[in-house]
Structure 1
């Protein structure tokens, strides 16, 4: 069993393989959070909560004569509420029909079940009855009747606990949800830091580590998407935590829209974390009997540092978020024509690139932006999802057949959520674009947003996408989204419900994605939002890989992919080899280095192979052979960050087989140094008493022996270290293969 309900002690204890999570109902019906951390037994841990009485922290009326009164302003609460005595950041805030914002939640019952709960219309972790258990705890406001169901999914073997909330209006009047977070987590003591991942377009998910100080700290997005700027994944940790030791907690929001993560250290050094939909653009009306489901949060705790925590998230995302045929199937090595041609191409040009690619072992050709409507630049055509046969010189089917005839798969780019003013769709349906009546809209990339909160818009886009997919041999779709949302207003909603638009937009997006994948279950979908602007667990429920960043520079990608790896597995990271000088930075890096970095992802190319030399083509062919050879290790191995790009001249990472039979270590020098010290790294995930053959992978295809083979024990490698080859040129890269003998 993973869930224990002790009705006598009134405790609920969630046990995973290595952790314990506990709650307790107090004498006044408040659901307290007693513990989350390293595994313990099912003992009542509420002794840790002192019955303090502090000035300016009130207590419940019923407790006024008690000696052990505990203020809601001090208590570690499982789901905090605004307006009735807790002055810290809160999870739930409502506006009652009488205008008040008060709500108090008291325990009203529980339910246990095998398997994992699901959430209507929203992505969530899935697991069967042998893999998970569900606990539901019902809370009720005794004055109004408002009900809140706290849902917990426990995946015991993975050290994963999920949380979601259902709010039900059992009152006699209308209730407006002003804030409905998915979780609240309180720590009674501890001096914590938190790791967040900030960025911008073409430089996403940069690691930032800061103390949780007195006051409120927050990350979030009001851009209509999870955004390039802050990722909906964070880690709370003890101050001495590193990759291999220390207590840390990970939080991943399974949602692709606007979010808010807040931390607060209070007056007595307690720490609170809140995660959920951002309240700034949110106000959801519940009529009597109606309910609202929050998106899900994935929680995990590790006492063995960030590395183990990352492995927990990698495993749950690979096995219980990603779905469908491509969940475990080998992804094809692809080539995308965007940086090779931009908008300037014909069908013949694309086929000429595809011919070269096929000869080198590339398996999928992806036609990017510019194949539809009037679309020769980014000023027109979005929304007109009809092939431009004049530009292509053939039909979409004829182009697809020619590429498939080369032995490749054929893929295509869409940006279904956006619309150009210069488009037939906008001229026919100007009310389908997101804009506020009487106010000129804010433009970005010369485009507007389609109102996906409207069912008629969803239905139209779904019909158009499926029609295109039915017309040609398309096996892959790149789904892009190239601007933030503002001017939020939907002509389909009354004025008092405009606060629902942003979340309804996300529900509409998920409905269209689900509909497309249901109609075409063999389709490989890659998510994209100007690169990594919507890289989150919510999108991974539909697309098992996401274009990691529009920055394809190999050296920049070291930091982007490093930050991404804390919460997301390598198998989800879209990574390509691009041309030099790089189109974003102008940097010139060796082809071997670009290949090495892109192999820490789904791997592909984004350039015009017709412009490569014969020597470079030989190297590309070798890279593809190497990637295919190590594919299982790369996509499903345990990922270890051996050094950080933020504090090391040489960035090193490792993929180790779960059975310790082999490992692949990749190293990239960020800067060339003269007379530099020897560089040692300490592999992990090996068998101490086994011997390993250590050899250098031939990335260039010239079969030069650059490092003599060695045989070393796992103990020697993990404790004595592995000495890396030095940098023999600017931005040198090495791959070292360890094979158990």
Structure 2
């Protein structure tokens, strides 16, 4: 039984696979007691409380308020009709249910059978205002994850104004931790940052209307000695695609409060009598075995219980995208020629990127006019798709539905349909504005426009792009008192539209993109099971980007392509072999003009495609182990291991050549020590114990930007392990 209740001490013991999370009601307040390695079910649950005083500034509250004695960051704040902002939530009762409820209007982790999880719901209430809060905890039987969210309900007689509503708050009894998070910029996403905590508050956040290239909605606390394979790690990931905050605050007594949720900056929500507000879901993962175990927990949970639909467990197609091959300048004949070359090489999907609609010859026009450009495609999209299909490839399409160009028919008809504030300038980014997805009529227009295309053209794949953040966040359709709701209502509107589209067209594989990784977050993965990881396709830069992304996100969600050299982003020349080896550690594809390949290059690409098809199930569904970090040196390595530990694919990369280098060994992970593994390249047999404790001898690699891939297969079991 995952949730154990001691009625006498009012203690709740949540037991995940190898984790215990304990909270207790103390003087009416839910108080955090413990989170870590599993404790016995018969442990004495009556002896946890150390709260003999009533100083709330010392309470490890599970959902703290401000204004009644706790001076640290609150989890929520509500303004009453009299202008006051003081509430005090007191415990009322609890309820335990099998399985996991859905979140209203929001994506979340799910279960496929009720025995996978149990959910605890605590009811808290403020008697004066009538505010009720439901704290929901779901604990999973098969992994070390606990999800948290909150529902705020106005049970009073007058309206309330929510000023802050976070998803989770956890008070830890000490602050001797490092904080790890993912930072970056466009073309430089998910760079791993690690720093020790100290007095004060450290926050990662987005105010861009999306989760952002700059900071990902994730943080982890690590014991100082923690690394990939050892030490305690506490992960916090937010299933949300808009403005977020994740904060670690160390108080004067050396305790740390971690909180995560919707960014309260520029946020407020009018909560009418009887209405409720649902916060996004926080997914908390504990690992006693370092970062690698934390990542693999997130990987399996997100791959199998966050991503949805028919494509969740299917092998993803190898694609070629025409963007870096043609940009806006293409004809149907040119596109068919690229597809024909792709078919000859074994590629499975052709994707037509930007420039196929309206009068879109550059990025200054036509967003919002989702009608094919008959000047470029005289016979239309359907005829082009037919030509692509006859070459043996599926047909995919790029769209950017959240945006509108000032030079478009849509904007001329509906200039008020974009986010804007009357009388203020409308800031252009990439010469485009953002549609107001808080408005139902705007979402209906986009749904109808895209549905006409998806219904009339054999589209198998959609790349859904978003190329700018939100500015002048206001809506012509909202009253003044609701203008600070628009950023969140935009995200809710986006989710509503995606739910409609993915339900209406379940056969389409949707890939999320926001100038690359600007919205690589769990919220989008609920609707689209893969994301274009970065607009930077340089193989060397991708080592860091893909390594950092793997800290939270499954390999099956990572889009990775081979592009031309010199690379269009950094100008670097890297071997085709290395470009292929890096891109094969994700959803594989090409972003270049296949018709310009030499015969030798065609042979290399055909071999890459064949190899990826062979190892695709292992890459997309296997367990992922990081071996060498690109943030720590000149070499990078990672590997994929099948669930039964009988197969492994090892990928090694060296950035710069060294003169007369010493012999190097690469220690592997995740194998069965009792299995003997055959190294396919040489036929040599190695014990799993030797490979993990001694390692493989790395061969000398000549030149800069080199790579090597090994395939290992278990031959037999030599002894039990």
Matched, 1:724 2:698: yes
Change (3 A) 1:242 1:483: same
2:37 corresponds in structure 1 to: 38
Tell me how far apart the structure 2 counterparts of residues 447 and 46 of structure 1 sit (CA, whole Å).
Answer: 60
Q: Say whether the 8 Å CA contact 1:453–1:501 is kept in structure 2.
A: yes
Tell me how far apart the structure 2 counterparts of residues 579 and 737 of structure 1 sit (CA, whole Å).
Answer: 27
2:718 corresponds in structure 1 to: none
Q: Say whether the 8 Å CA contact 1:346–1:393 is kept in structure 2.
A: no
1:22 corresponds in structure 2 to: 22
Matched, 1:247 2:232: yes
TM-score, normalised with respect to structure 1: 0.95
Tell me how far apart the structure 2 counterparts of residues 606 and 506 of structure 1 sit (CA, whole Å).
Answer: 30
Tell me how far apart the structure 2 counterparts of residues 46 and 271 of structure 1 sit (CA, whole Å).
Answer: 24
Greater mean deviation of Cα atoms: 585-594 or 186-195: 186-195
Tell me how far apart the structure 1 counterparts of residues 683 and 607 of structure 2 sit (CA, whole Å).
Answer: 20
Residue by residue, what CA displacement relative to the aligned partner does 1:548-568 show, whole Å, maximum 9, x if unpaired? Answer: 000000000000001000100
2:633 corresponds in structure 1 to: 648
2:623 corresponds in structure 1 to: 638
Residue by residue, what CA displacement relative to the aligned partner does 1:370-427 show, whole Å, maximum 9, x if unpaired? Answer: 0000100000010000000111232111001110111110000000000000000000
Tell me how far apart the structure 2 counterparts of residues 45 and 534 of structure 1 sit (CA, whole Å).
Answer: 42
1:180 corresponds in structure 2 to: 165
1:59 corresponds in structure 2 to: none
1:300 corresponds in structure 2 to: 285
Q: CA deviation at 1:41?
A: 2.3
From 58, 65, 74, the equivalent of 1:74 is: 58
Matched, 1:285 2:273: no
Q: Say whether the 8 Å CA contact 2:656–2:703 is kept in structure 1.
A: no
Q: CA deviation at 1:190?
A: 4.2
Tell me how far apart the structure 1 counterparts of residues 418 and 17 of structure 2 sit (CA, whole Å).
Answer: 49
Tell me how far apart the structure 2 counterparts of residues 726 and 591 of structure 1 sit (CA, whole Å).
Answer: 19
Q: CA deviation at 1:172?
A: 1.7
1:115 corresponds in structure 2 to: 99
Matched, 1:133 2:118: yes
Matched, 1:498 2:497: no
Structure 2 unaligned segments of length 5 or more: list them: 716-721
Tell me how far apart the structure 1 counterparts of residues 380 and 695 of structure 2 sit (CA, whole Å).
Answer: 58
Change (3 A) 1:46 1:342: farther
Structure 1 unaligned segments of length 5 or more: list them: 52-67, 697-707
Tell me how far apart the structure 1 counterparts of residues 404 and 593 of structure 2 sit (CA, whole Å).
Answer: 29
Q: Say whether the 8 Å CA contact 1:34–1:45 is kept in structure 2.
A: no
Residue by residue, what CA displacement relative to the aligned partner does 1:32-85 show, whole Å, maximum 9, x if unpaired? Answer: 01011000024356755544xxxxxxxxxxxxxxxx223111111111112211
Q: CA deviation at 1:206?
A: 0.2
Q: Say whether the 8 Å CA contact 1:190–1:238 is kept in structure 2.
A: no
Tell me how far apart the structure 2 counterparts of residues 411 and 312 of structure 1 sit (CA, whole Å).
Answer: 32
Q: CA deviation at 1:217?
A: 0.4
Tell me how far apart the structure 1 counterparts of residues 163 and 394 of structure 2 sit (CA, whole Å).
Answer: 48
Q: CA deviation at 1:436?
A: 1.0
- 2:116 is paired with a residue of what secondary structure? coil
Tell me how far apart the structure 1 counterparts of residues 590 and 575 of structure 2 sit (CA, whole Å).
Answer: 14
Matched, 1:362 2:347: yes
Q: CA deviation at 1:130?
A: 2.0
Residue by residue, what CA displacement relative to the aligned partner does 1:434-453 show, whole Å, maximum 9, x if unpaired? Answer: 11110111110000000000
**Which residues in structure 2 correspond to 1:592-671 (within 5 Å)?**
592-671=577-656
Which contiguous aligned blocks of 4+ residues in structure 1 show a shift greater than 4 angstroms?
A: 44-49
Q: Cα RMSD (Å) of the superposition?
A: 1.0
Q: CA deviation at 1:25?
A: 0.5
Matched, 1:461 2:460: no
1:233 corresponds in structure 2 to: 218
**Which residues in structure 2 correspond to 1:408-557 (within 5 Å)?**
408-557=393-542
Q: CA deviation at 1:169?
A: 0.5
Matched, 1:315 2:307: no
1:702 corresponds in structure 2 to: none
- 2:189 is paired with a residue of what secondary structure? strand
Q: Say whether the 8 Å CA contact 2:8–2:46 is kept in structure 1.
A: no
From 699, 708, 711, the equivalent of 1:737 is: 711
Tell me how far apart the structure 1 counterparts of residues 321 and 664 of structure 2 sit (CA, whole Å).
Answer: 36
TM-score, normalised with respect to structure 2: 0.98
1:714 corresponds in structure 2 to: 688
Tell me how far apart the structure 1 counterparts of residues 561 and 86 of structure 2 sit (CA, whole Å).
Answer: 52
1:92 corresponds in structure 2 to: 76
**Which residues in structure 2 correspond to 1:213-232 (within 5 Å)?**
213-232=198-217
- 2:628 is paired with a residue of what secondary structure? coil
1:270 corresponds in structure 2 to: 255
- 1:715 is paired with a residue of what secondary structure? helix
